[in-house]
Amino acid sequence: MKNKWLPILGLVLLAACTGGEKPSFTCPQAGLAPDAGAIPVFNAAGTEMAVYAGFNGYKGACVASKGGIEIEITLDFLAKQGTGGKDTETQDFPYFIALLAPDETILQRQAFSTSVSFDNTGMGLSREEHSIRLPLQDLKTAGAHKVVFGFALTPEQLAFNKKKRPAKDPAPENSDRKKP
């Protein structure tokens, strides 16, 4: 479906593109996949939120390499224990990174997982770094591609995100975290 990825939150060009002395191409755009910027995890009974995580920022760069470009992307994660997860010490969160063609078809999609350990305040952070190769015959077409990332959600988690949570806020509704 054309334009399915256009509502990506925070869609920006990756920084630091180089192709020799002078940049000769534009890096692909990068951002969150719609409704996949946060992941709620409920307790076994499904009645209380155990933990909640979101992306806490990202940065990227790309450089020319033989026959294409190398895209470096760093993803930061923030997680908080909910009322149903006070005893949770560590939680794994599945996520993906996808590379889209100019017509928005998926060229590559890779699944990953990040592990977050919670401190005595119930908060946790993690950072993941990835390298993605985009083979191209013409580097000038690089900027027409997109890199999207998000959490790998169950249908229930996706429905929760669509109904309850803005994609960029990593705090659950029952959080006492102060917003800036």
Q: Going residue by residue through the chain (180 aa), what tens digit of pLDDT does each one get?
A: 343 433 333 444 454 444 444 457 899 999 999 999 999 999 888 888 999 999 999 999 999 988 999 999 999 999 999 988 888 999 999 999 999 999 999 999 999 999 999 999 999 999 999 999 999 999 999 999 999 999 999 999 999 999 875 444 454 443 333 333
Answer yes or no: is 174 within a domain: no
169 belongs to a structural domain: no
Q: What's residue 24's pLDDT?
A: 76
pLDDT of residue 127: 98
Is the Cβ–Cβ distance between 79 and 124 less than 8 Å? yes
Q: What is the pLDDT of residue 132?
A: 94
Residue 172, domain member (yes or no): no
Which pLDDT score, from 0 to 100, does residue 23 have?
52
Please tell me the distance from the alpha carbon of residue 49 to that of residue 45, in angstroms, as a whole number: 10
Indicate the pairing of strand 49-65 with strand 15-18: parallel
Q: How far apart are CA 42 and CA 36, in angstroms?
A: 16
* Residue 99 domain-assigned (yes or no): yes
Assess if residue 3 is contained within a domain: no
Instruction: Tell me the pTM.
Output: 0.79
How far apart, in Å, are the Cα atoms of 52 and each of 16, 25, 67, 142? 32, 38, 41, 34
Whether 135 is in a domain gets the answer: yes
Structure tokens at 122: 């119930």
Residue 47 located in a structural domain: yes
The runs of H, that is alpha helices, within the chain are 155-164
CATH number of the domain residue 34 falls in? 2.60.40
In 56-95, which positions are buried (b, 16+ CB within 10 angstroms) versus exposed (e)?
A: eebebebebeeebbebebebebbbbbbebbeebeebebeb
**Number of domains the chain is built from:** 1
Q: Which domain holds residue 94?
A: 12-164
The pLDDT of residue 46: 80
Let me know if residue 77 belongs to a domain.
yes
